[in-house]
Chains A and B, each alone.
Chain A
Amino acid sequence: DAGVIQSPRHEVTEMGQEVTLRCKPISGHDYLFWYRQTMMRGLELLIYFNNNVPIDDSGMPEDRFSAKMPNASFSTLKIQPSEPRDSAVYFCASSLNPTGGGGYGYTFGSGTRLTVV
């Protein structure tokens, strides 16, 4: 299995532009998570999906952020308009269950390093 695949690996954009991050979870994983990581706040959960349905979006910072999962193999996180404070590493992760139990945990993608200038 190729693992969780994210694209792009790096994104540099100007303030005000729309940014779309992409994720392909591991086949068979019913749960998909979007996290944001910064030095100050660590890893923060933004939103997660179960069987393509958003379950908990309480971590989405504001209306500028939106996430979709049109099918079991693809998800997007969109920021519109982007701001410098959105600069962070965005990770997508997938799992068989939300508890990470059974010794499986969450499998993370390589992340997208976003810089908004």
Chain B
Amino acid sequence: RKEVEQDPGPFNVPEGATVAFNCTYSNSASQSFFWYRQDCRKEPKLLMSVYSSGNEDGRFTAQLNRASQYISLLIRDSKLSDSATYLCVVLGMNTGFQKLVFGTGTRLLVSP
């Protein structure tokens, strides 16, 4: 089983729509979680950290469900500029060292 799993998409939504992505992780001991954004042919960039209580940054809301081991990202009022791949990231420790483990990403396409 992969350490971090995501639905690859693509999710095709119209401008203004609300869209949600989920991600599951296998290591119940993981303590830190993030969402990164990657534009086509660009490097990944940190979008937001995910906290146990859930957190919001403008139109973006991230939530963590430790019992079910999944993380979600909600985007409200989608913009064309939100089109990108969203990477779910978990702090892993499978070789005895802490490091970020990236999911393969969920692609979002926002159309006019």
Give the B-binding residues of A (Cβ under 8 A): 33, 35, 41-43, 45, 48, 55-56, 58, 91, 98-101, 103-111
Contact = CB atoms under 8 A, between A and B. Distances in A.
Main secondary structure of the interface of B (DSSP, over half): strand
A108 B91 contact: no
Given A108-B45, A110-B43, A98 B102 contact: no
Given A41-B104, A42-B103, A105-B34, A56 B95 contact: yes
Contacts of A105: 34, 36, 46, 49, 100
B102 A58 contact: no
A26 to B, nearest CB: 13
B98 A58 contact: no
B32 A110 contact: no
B100 A106 contact: yes
Majority-rule SS of A interface residues: loop
A106 B95 CA distance: 19
A104 B95 CA distance: 23
Given A55-B97, A56-B97, A56-B99, A100 B34 contact: yes
A43 B102 contact: yes
A108 B44 contact: yes
